[in-house]
Structure 1
Amino acid sequence: MQRYFVQESHWQENKVTITEEDAHHIKKVMRMTEGDSLIAVHPEGKAYKVSIESVGESIICVVREEITDNKELPQQVTVVQAIGKADKVEWVIQKATELGVSRIIPFQATRSVAKWDHKKQDKKVARFEKIAKEAAEQSERVKVPHVHRVLSLQEVIEETKDYDFRVFAYENEVRNGANRKLSEHIKEMTPGTEVCVIIGPEGGFSPEEADELYQSGFTSVRLGKRILRMETAPLYFLSALSYEWEE
């Protein structure tokens, strides 16, 4: 059943009003009409089955029942992704949302190939938020991940200082044959914990960045025995976490 996230101001008692792009999608793409059902999601993370009462410039729906099936990851996971080409970041946002990420923070690494124009950041973030919303609807989630503006590594460290687990995917852990497997780390990430994983750029972390992360309390981890692309690494991590705690 089609799912739409609806802002809080559009909920009144047992009525929900859907506007703008979502209203257009309902009318023109899905071709729904009075009496058809869909799922509306409240910002508090609750989903409801609703039926369309009227179709006009806005879609007026009546709430029928709450849907209690929870499909969110047990942990609150923040993926800090080194920026690369725009399509790679968009891919990570879409797929990480499908896999249950809670928050995505792009960061400017020393070896990042791409350099984003700060004047265009608002436009980029708006597009990323739209991608996250659509992916959350498609994967039947009740929360849309928050997409942050681009931060420096120092800002990331400060932003995540109170997290329960802070790790970074370090290629040297693979090359040096680190003994501790990712699964051992993940078993410690019990439900309800806040987890931050930092993914480096195409050229990897610089030695200075790795040292700064170690000194700030981050733990380096290896993601399997192979060197992964920057857009593959966060998906590997989220999939491993999901397998351990959801399957």
Structure 2
Amino acid sequence: MHRFIVEDAAEELLFLDEDESKHAKNVLRVRKGENVEILDGMGRKYLAEVEDVSGKRVGVRKLEELPGNESPVRITLYQGLPKMDKLDFVVQKATELGAARIVPVEMERSVARISADAAKKQDRLVKIAREAAKQCGRACVPEVMQPISWKKALEDIRARELMLIPWEEASGKRLADVKAACPDARDIGILVGPEGGIAPEEIAQVECECVTLGPRILRTETAAVAALAIAMGLWGDV
């Protein structure tokens, strides 16, 4: 079944925006009477029927609300700023796995740096998150922030109930060990270093649980997906 995002889904009769409508009519070839799934991007989704394909905006009528599929745990992924293609991948996979927020962070060893066109790049990442949410049938599109400095990230990190940092120099503690000690955590942060890793000085500034992801050193994008998947399996719904 085709899925579309309609951010204001309060009414019974809804209209896709022009981009979604073009995709629906010209690529997916939706027809009047066809059933589709509508996501509001905020956690609710509906079964709907295509009612009008004659105008610039496709009209659909809600039939019933469908069960939600958001994780019971809210995870913020702090991703050490990597090269852009890697960040695209991380945003896509983090959306599929259920991350609530994705925060790119410029760190000491980041190869990439915050650029003047950060807002434009953020728009691109938001689009990637929206498409990933549609693909996986997720009713909530995660918040994707503009890249921020390490100083600003620290302020945000300190608001988390539990902070996890996968680190190649961790002593051997695994995520399952942290779960045993903190079984009821519901607001979790995961900080993944950039290509150059996390500097010890940065670790020292965060009240956190440093954990290992195994005996092999993972690429930054692999570490992000692995840590998020394991955390969702332990605290969430994977």
TM-score between both structures, scaled by the size of structure 2: 0.93
After TM superposition, the structure 1 = structure 2 runs for residues 1-247 of structure 1, keeping only pairs within 5 Å, are 1-8=1-8, 11=9, 13-55=11-53, 56-68=55-67, 70-117=68-115, 119-173=116-170, 178-187=171-180, 190=183, 193-213=186-206, 217-244=207-234, 245-246=236-237
Query: What is the CA distance between 1:243 and its match in structure 2?
Result: 2.7
Structure 1 runs not aligned, ≥5 long: none
Query: What is the CA distance between 1:184 and its match in structure 2?
Result: 1.6
Q: Structure 1 residues 6, 189: closer, same or farther in 2, change over 3 A?
A: farther
- For 1:112, the aligned partner's letter is S
Query: What is the CA distance between 1:191 and its match in structure 2?
Result: 6.2
- For 2:227, the aligned partner's letter is F
Structure 2 runs not aligned, ≥5 long: none
- For 1:97, the aligned partner's letter is T
Within 2, Cα distance between the matches of 1:14 and 1:190?
41
TM-score between both structures, scaled by the size of structure 1: 0.90
Residue 221 of structure 2: SS of its match in structure 1? Answer: coil
Q: How many residues are paired up?
A: 236
Q: Percent identity?
A: 32
Within 2, Cα distance between the matches of 1:123 and 1:238?
26
1:223 touches 1:237 (CA, 8 Å); kept in 2? Answer: yes
Within 2, Cα distance between the matches of 1:85 and 1:46?
33
Within 1, Cα distance between the matches of 2:174 and 2:180?
10
Within 2, Cα distance between the matches of 1:50 and 1:203?
47
Q: Structure 1 residues 29, 12: closer, same or farther in 2, change over 3 A?
A: same
Q: Structure 1 residues 125, 162: closer, same or farther in 2, change over 3 A?
A: same
Within 2, Cα distance between the matches of 1:167 and 1:12?
37
Q: Structure 1 residues 12, 218: closer, same or farther in 2, change over 3 A?
A: closer
1:74 touches 1:191 (CA, 8 Å); kept in 2? Answer: no
- For 1:20, the aligned partner's letter is E
